[in-house]
Structure 1
Amino acid sequence: MTESRILNSRYDVGDLIGRGGMADVYRARDIRLGRVVAIKLLRRDLARDPVFQTRFRREAQAVAGLNHPSIVAVYDTGEEEIDGAGDHEVKAPFIVMEYVKGKTLRDLLKAGELTPESSVRYTLGVLEALQYSHRQGIVHRDIKPSNVMVTADDQVKVMDFGIARALADSAATMTQTQAVVGTAQYFSPEQARGETVDARSDLYSAGCLLYELLTGRPPFTGDSPVSVAYQHVSEEAAAPSTHNTDLGPKIDQVISTALAKDREDRYQDAAAFSAALRAAQDDRPVPRDRGDATQALAVMPMSTQAMVTTDAPTRALSTGSDAPSDAGEDHDGGSSPDPAEHTTAMAVAAGSSPATGVQASVEEQHTESSLFGHDDDRNHRDEDAEHYRTSRRRAWITVFSILAVVVLAAGAWFFWNWTQQEQERNATVAVPNVANLSLTAAQNQIYGSNLIPITEEVYDPKVKAGTVVGTDPKAGSQARQQSEVHLLVSKGPEQVTLPKDLAGQSEATVRSTLDALGLEVSNDVKRENTATVELGSLISTNPQLGEKVKAGSSVELTISTGKVTVPSVMDLDEDKAREVLADKAVGLNLAVETEQNPVLKPGTITKQVPEAGQDIDQGGTVTITVVEEPGPSAPPSSSDGAGSGSADPSGGSSDSANPSGSAPTTPKAADPSKKGNGAERSHPTNPGKPSK
């Protein structure tokens, strides 16, 4: 457990609020500005690795210049010295960030609090943040639900630029250990292949994010990150409307473009993605952000397309099979004479009408045939005509029969296909047994059974928090494919006991223990003086230690200040004062100084430092001044009172100083060498005894 500490003589580090792959996040207070911040500190076991130190410092450099309401702000950076190997000291870097109080999109997704409208709104916020970071030359490279926070006022905050890079450095997709960075379920095909990345890679991840928010599942799932990465590279994701029937084809079109394998086929920037998503949300035509030849042909007028595809063959057919394709046009751009008109002109030039010419030709043929003796040719022609008419009737009957068979076959096929789809839609599968598994493992099994998992938290005294208790419907029962299965996830026992051994523990240890028990710590932390509990440690709690409380309830802490309030000993003697200060509840030392005072009774305490009511450190010393008994007075010498003519310091005789002639009196303690400054320090083990 980490003790409470101060970083850079400014940040008071509090409890642990998050833990990532390479850093721990603590809640802290900026002593200078009096505000709550979040401190991201590189883990001590990784601080000795220069690779992780470089990545951590790159994150600070990446986000230090980003100032956008949808991106978590960075206030300060620094380093903490920790013990290294031998005498070598290692500096662990840290980042001071904006403290965001809210939930991640992962939490909202697990709780089932997302709707299609809110999912689109949050994705638009992420795209605004990406548009700004891309404009600043920064690629995030790890967009996923757990890296997007939603504040209490519904504001999106994109965080964790831990693997971000500048666009100019985007070629370094691999780390120094040649491991692909990112999260398998959300990274782009080029990240999976280890190729260069750019802003369009973030847009692919944003498409995966939107897909999961709308359907409750990522576009690709698998047993391992490798299998998921393979699907990103080689397989097409199912349309979102197949998992959520409330979605329309326009949303499918937007997500299909965002998840294109070739980045040239995706949206080229976040603004284009946002415009398409807003159009789909408003049920407007989705704009296309690509201007290739296919699109140009697609928007060409139908008359023009018909001209391009059919005009030349039609002209060739009108001029005969052996005519060139441009026979219908002369070199001057005009039209050539119609072939029928040309034939008619030839017939008129011969001196007959077209009909007359044709009739004459037939009659000549008939006359010629009669000359050769074929008188029954007319009968043969009648038989041929009848045979032709019969053949046509049979052909039409055959055609109609074939059409009827085709229609019946098509109807039968559609009916069979419909029944198969209905059977598949109504097919049931057994609900797998996922009890005592982690939430992620249970979700993968439910997805693998073609079911949709819905997370629901319950109290359970036997199953630890975060582990699946069971399912609804129960394991083994039959459920329709693509139906919802509720995963009952344990929140731990409904009531927990406050450990008695927390008394005397550090505040950070107490907070971590209570958080592990599913309890919250009240923001109103009391500070009290005590002689028995060291500075920063727990004195008591409310509810008291040892009591049972409901999970999730708030606990008030009383923490030691490391100081003791000085009691008053002015009305006591030295022995009684020593006894009061030595009491276990006070725990202070006593120092005694003495002074002579002819007015006060010996043993009287005349002064106390510090005074009563003041706070001093635990185990401190209280100094008292005690009146001592006066020492024996020396007898007056014979020269003191003999002779009336002795000199007086004032310059006169003793007779003049004592007109009555009586012997002068000697005041007590008149010797300044013995009295000194009026106070003497006694031996600590024998208070009150005058020093010699």
Structure 2
Amino acid sequence: MTTRRSAPAHREDSTPVTDQRVLNGRYELGELLGRGGMADVHRGTDTLLGRTVAVKLLRADLARDPQFQARFKREAHAVASLNHPSIVAIYDTGEYTVDGGHGETVRVPYIVMEYVSGRTLRELIRGKELDIEQAVELCLGVLSALEYSHKAGIVHRDIKPGNVMVGEDNTVKVMDFGIARAIADSAATMTQTQAVVGTAQYLSPEQARGETVDARSDLYSAACLLFEMLTSRPPFTGDSPVSLAYQHVRETPAAPSTFNPEVSEALDSVLAKGLQKERADRFQDAAAFRRALRAARNGIAVPAIAAYEAGPDDVGQEPAEDAAPETLVGFTGIGFLDGQPPAGGRGEEPLPANYTEDADDEAMPLGFPRERERTRRQKSRRRAWTAVVILFTVLVLAGVGLGLYYFMNQRPEEPVKIPIPSVANMSEAAATRVLYDAKLVPDAPVRVKDDKVPQGTAIGTDPSVGTLVVPGSHVTLKVSDGPSAVTVPKDLAGQTEAAARDMLRNVGLVGGNKNTIANSPTVPAGSVIGTNPAPGAVVAPGSTVELVISSGKVKMPQLIKLPKSEAEKALADLGLTMRIVEQENSVLQPGIVTAQSIPEGALAEQGSAITVTITKAPAPKPTPSETPTPKPSASGGRKG
């Protein structure tokens, strides 16, 4: 299934096709996927691109009707302008011709759409396969599609489980924009035959009354959809589309938790607001509906008067001229246009266009039988009630007059205001809850760079804390998006590699994948010598910092020909010790290095002892001893 889209290209074949299994020489029709009152949908193959598609064909018997032709083509034009992952894509449109008999041909339009492998929400609901979390998640997907289409100026007008596909990966696809209208043209809620469009179980009150529809009408239908996903039943049930439409206009649905105890009070409050009869009391756009649903998942209720707490006479009351049942005339099919016979009174199937509750009274409005002849007792009772009503009306008017007199002579009271609470240093969820509890409406958070407040933590509000506002005012929550700049920690030197990486991560930086190995006389092997950028440098959040790690060794300097004192200092500077071996040398003066145990440039372990050979003066040669000369005797003469 591809997500690429192209604008519909309309094609008209000039001659009747002989093989309607291949449309326009390109789209090969396969099995029938579904059949509605207006069109059939086949699995198809785009032989040019080799991809699977869905081909929607207008029924040949309806192709002569200009209204059905216009509705069918309007669907293609509406969706072709939308490019959203939760809306079924339109790839192509065209027409083929069929033999209409008596030598005439009929042009039948078709739409080539994205093929979605999955099931409709109707199948999942009937199979009771949805839990609370799944229902909320799928509704968020539908609202995402509606938010996009409403911004594009398109009102769907027929949101229901059968028009929402759920893919195998739980992705949502909204389809069937057959009765969609541009918002600028959304006043056309009724056809030329005065048939209300929409599906009975999901019909907004304004659609049932034949009034102008807008984006909020889709949101009412989405609330009905969520109600059914949570409870496995629509908010209203009845024996006919007329009774269902009447309930949407006049009656208040029971809370979803009545049918499913697992539904939370927060979700009850969301649906209470979503199913309000007056559009001004509902969510004003799909984004607000989505925010309320996400808050309800965290247990945060919508701060509004629950429709379930109001009596049936307090909620959704309309002026008599707006609520007149005559606006319910002429429901005619699925979406009240498909022209199919009724099945089981579920409201999703059609009724004849001239259907009335009383077959003998064609002049009466739909669903309101002819008034029967009253007896004398009934007439007397009616006159008594009329007198009571008149008397009550007089008393009420008198009370209103006194109230107005009192009001005109009183100074107008200032509306009660409340201070905006402090939410600084709270989590985003906690700050949102505090604002709701204070009877305020938090708007979408604004992300602000802050060097001191951790990311995801509330900074404050707009208006600021302490400002006095009326309950229900909108407040913008300011949430930290983290610092705009980060300083590389200065105390990384001497830390182990693991500890240094943790310190970088804590300030929003990332340790490099490859370390630089360097020699150091003092930093132990495996510990950090320095960084690149250097410690104390200011960098952007998320920057990579390369670590310089000690090898635990030092590079041996050249000691030969140095005096003993200089050689000893050079080794000490590197943390090495010197082991001296003296050797007599008659050529060099004493105290000169003539050899070293580790050659210049080689690596030596930190703190190791280096054997150094140093010259010393040769020992002096011994002086030869003198032999004494014999002395003559004292007599000096010879005997004899």
Same fold judged by TM-score > 0.5?
Answer: no
Using structure 1 for the length normalisation, give the TM-score.
0.41
The structure number with the bigger radius of gyration is: 1
Query: What's the TM-score once normalised by structure 2's chain length?
Result: 0.45
